[in-house]
Structure 1
Amino acid sequence: MAVLSNGFDATISAAAGEDAALLAELRAVFIESLERQVDLLSRARCDGNWAVAAQRLKSLGASFNAPTLVALADLALDSAPGDPTVIRKLSQFAGEIPAS
């Protein structure tokens, strides 16, 4: 699976311009936000908390032009709270993102 699209790199490159430090920081913030929301999703046991975490993941994916993340968030929104398949797929996605 292609973890991130070329659109992701283009989006953060456009935001950072020629600033390599900012580019690295944007990538790090994306990964940190992704991991935090996947953790919240994995601990959600009610529909409300599950939906909030899934919506945040979808927004993160849309903001950074990461269509795979948007699709995984949609899968979470269509699933029951605590669905281990969804959590596993999101965790795998997060683990495959290169730090730089």
Structure 2
Amino acid sequence: MAMIFLPPAMSACLSHLGPPLKGNLTSFLYSSAMAYLGDAIDAHLAAATGDDAELFRELRAAFVESARRQLDLLGRSRCDGNWEMAAMRLKSLAATFHAEELIVLADQALNSAPGEPAVLRRIAAALDSIEPTG
């Protein structure tokens, strides 16, 4: 069994799983019905919520709702200040959940003119890949 060494905070989150899973993140992710390998957001939420499926769904929905709110603010921004504030909030939210793709897209927004349609479409597509609308 390949062992993955975890930072102390992650190790503490997994300590309730016991010795067989504590150091093996792959086994932990496969053992959780909530996590999908390759999806950083779900993996971090699963580590934080353990077996509490309701809490997992609640936190995931809150993440997506907050990210969509920032996307809406970006779309309505007409000045540099509002655009930058919404982009920085989106980047902070993405960093909290280790959503690397969304961090990159928020950086692209920060380096773009307010209302840049290509950036808005890419962010919307990324959010749709996490949780489709409709």
Superposition TM-score, scaled by structure 2 size: 0.67
C-alpha RMSD over aligned residues: 1.6
Query: What amino acid maps onto 1:75 in structure 2?
Result: Q
Structure 1 residues 81-100: aligned runs within 5 Å:
81-98=114-131
Structure 1 residues 21-40: aligned runs within 5 Å:
21-40=54-73
* Distance in 1 of aligned mates of 2:112 and 2:131: 28
Specify every segment of 5 or more residues in structure 2 that has no aligned partner in the other structure, as ranges: 1-37
2:95 pairs, out of 52, 62, 66, with 62
Moved beyond 3 Å, runs of 4+:
none
8 A contact 2:64–2:131 mirrored in 1: no
Question: SS of the counterpart of 1:80?
Answer: coil
8 A contact 2:42–2:60 mirrored in 1: no
Identical columns (%): 54
2:75 pairs, out of 42, 59, 62, with 42
Q: Which has the higher contact order (CA 8 A, sep 6+)?
A: 1
Q: Which has the larger radius of gyration?
A: 2
Superposition TM-score, scaled by structure 1 size: 0.89
* Distance in 2 of aligned mates of 1:35 and 1:49: 15
Q: CA deviation at 1:7?
A: 2.7
Name 2:48's counterpart in structure 1: 15
How many correspondences in the alignment? 96
